[in-house]
Amino acid sequence: MTETTVGIGGAAESTDMVLNIGPQHPSTHGVLRLRITLDGERITSAEPIVGYMHRGAEKLFEVRDYRQILVLANRHDWLSAFSNELGVVLAVERMLGMEVPPRAVWTRTLLAELNRALNHLMFLGSYPLELGAITPVFHAFREREELQAVLEEVSGGRMHYMFNRVGGLKDDLPAGWLGRVRSAVAEVRSRMDVYDRLVIGNEIFRGRTRGVGVLSPEAVHAYGVSGPIARASGVDFDLRRDEPYLAYGELQDVLEVVTREEGDCLARFECLLGQTWNALELADACLDRLAELPPGPINQRLPKVLKAPEGHTYAWTENPLGLNGYYLVSKGEKTPYRLKLRSASFNNVQVLAQLLPGTLVADMVSILGSLFFVVGDIDK
C-alpha cells in the first residue's frame, strides 16, 4: 500500500499513501468521506470530511413557524424522527411556560422508547452486515416491522412521524392501540436473545471487535461524544436519569443506564443491545401507567398564530444516538430568530481523527460502523 521511489544513490524511499474512502452511500448511514493516510497497512492519520448531505436546516428553521419546523427537525437523523421532534416542542413549550397534559407526557415517553428500539435494531442488524454477517439484518428488520406497524398506525408515517405538536400530540390514540403495542413489544422481546446467540456469541464477530478501536474516556470528554458510544467507554451519563424530562423522573426504577469499561467496538455493540432491552422495558412501564390514567386531553388548544415570547432557552434530549439539543432564540415572532441544532452524530464522528491512527486498515470498517452515526445528523 506504500509508494516506493528511488532516491539519491539508488536507496529506496517510501512515501505514505493517501486514500479516499468514499464519498459513497453505504445504505443506512448516508454519504461520508474519509481521507486516510497509510503506512503499509497501518493508518497514520484520518480526516472525516462531511457536508455532502448538508441541507442548511438551521437557516430553514428561521423562515418557518413553530408548527412547520417539525417537518424539518425530524429528518436530520431519519432513524430517530420522533425523538428529533421532541427537542423542538420541549423548547417552545418551555418558552411559553406551557403545561402538557399527563396523557401526552406519558404517550410521548412511550413513543420515544419505541423509536429508540427501532433505531437500535437497525444498527444491531447493519453493523454485523458491514463485517460480513448477513443473517442478523433479517432478524432486525422483522423486529422493526413489529414496532413500525404500531407507530405507523398511530401517526400515519413510517419514518417521519410528525406526531408531536407544541402542547402535546397531533391526535388521540386509536381504540385498542395500547393493547397492540403491548403485543408488539412482547413479540420483539421474545426474540431479542438472537443477538446474544448469533452475534455476540460468534467468535468471528468477537475477533473483529474485541480490543479494536478503543476509545478513552478522555477522548469522549474532549470531543463531546455522547450516547451509547460514550457509555461504552465508561462515561456514565444519560439525560433521562441525570436531567429527567417527559415522564423519566417517574421511571427511575425501570430505567437502566447500560455502561461498559472496555471502550472497544464490542463494548459499543453490547451497550446498544442492552439499551434496546431496556427501551422495551420502559415501553411496558409506560403502557402500565397509561392504562391507569383517567381519560383526558392529549394536547393543548393553541392560538391560530403561535408566537413564542422574546427570550432564549435550550432544550436537550437523550436521543438514541446521543445528546440532541436545540438552542432557541425568539424575538416574539411566529418564527424563531435563531434555532441552533446540536446533533449527536456530528461530535461522535469527529473522534475518528483520533481513533483511527495506529490501527490497521482492515479494522477501519469495524471502527467506523461501531460509531452508529447517521450522516444527515452530522451534516444537518
What are the beta bridge partners of residue 43? 38
DSSP 8-state secondary structure symbol assigned to residue 10: G
Task: Kindly write down the DSSP assignment for every residue of 80-112, as one continuous string.
Answer: SHHHHHHHHHHHHHHHHTPPPPHHHHHHHHHHH
Statement: residue 161 has pLDDT above 50: yes
Q: What pLDDT, in 10s, does the model give residues 122-139?
A: 999 999 998 999 999 999
Among 358, 289, 365, 270, which residue's Cα sits nearest to residue 41?
A: 358
Asked if 104 and 331 count as a contact pair (C-beta separation under 8 A), the reply is: no
How confident is residue 26, by pLDDT bands cut at 50, 70 and 90? Answer: low
**Per-residue confidence (pLDDT) for residue 7, from 0 to 100:** 44
Q: DSSP characters for 194-215? A: HHIIIIIT-HHHHHHHTTSS--
Alpha-carbon gap, residue 285 to 313, rounded angstroms: 30
* pLDDT over 70 at 3, yes or no: no
The mean pLDDT value for 196-225 works out to 94
Quick one: pLDDT at residue 5? 42
Q: What is the share, in percent, of the chain residues with pLDDT greater than 90?
A: 78
Give the pLDDT band of residue 27 (cuts 50, 70, 90): low
- Using alpha carbons, list the distances in angstroms from residue 374 to 86, 146, 245, 252: 18, 23, 24, 29
Distance CA 177, CA 289 (A): 15
pLDDT of 233 strictly over 80: yes
Residue 219: band (very low, low, confident or very high) from pLDDT cuts 50, 70, 90: very high
Confidence band of 110 (pLDDT split at 50, 70, 90): very high
Whole-number pLDDT of residue 285:
97
Lowest mean pLDDT across 23-27, 231-235, 253-257: 23-27
Distance CA 214, CA 221 (A): 14
As a whole number, mean pLDDT of residues 216-244 equals 95
Tell me which of 38-52, 97-111, 214-228, 229-243 is least confident. 38-52
* Calpha distance 259→236 (Å, rounded): 7
Is the pLDDT higher at 269 or at 17?
Answer: 269
Which is more confidently placed, 355 or 10? Answer: 355
40-81: pLDDT as tens digits: 889 999 999 988 888 889 999 999 999 899 999 888 888 999
Specify the pLDDT at position 4: 43
Distance CA 322, CA 326 (A): 13
Does residue 97 carry a pLDDT above 80?
Answer: yes
| Burial call 113-133: b when 16+ CB within 10 Å, e when fewer | bbbbbbbbbbbbbbbbbbbeb
| CA–CA distances in Å: residue 103 to residues 73, 238, 268, 296, 353 | 23, 24, 34, 7, 45
Go through 8-29 and write b for each residue having 16 or more CB atoms within 10 A of its CB, e for each that does not: eeeeeeeebeeeebebeebebb
pLDDT band at 175 (very low <50, low <70, confident <90, very high): very high
Q: For residue 26, give the CATH number of its domain.
A: 1.10.645.10
Number of domains composing the chain? 1
Average pLDDT estimate for 258-276 = 95
Average pLDDT score over the chain: 91
pLDDT at 134: 92
Confidence of residue 1 (pLDDT cuts 50, 70, 90): very low
- Whether the per-residue pLDDT at 229 is higher than 70: the answer is yes
Summarize the confidence of residues 4-30 as an average pLDDT.
Answer: 65
Q: Given this model, what pLDDT does residue 13 score?
A: 62
Q: How far apart are CA 209 and CA 207, in angstroms?
A: 6
Rounded-to-integer distance, Cα 233 and Cα 217, Å: 6
Residue-range definition of the domain harbouring residue 141? 3-379
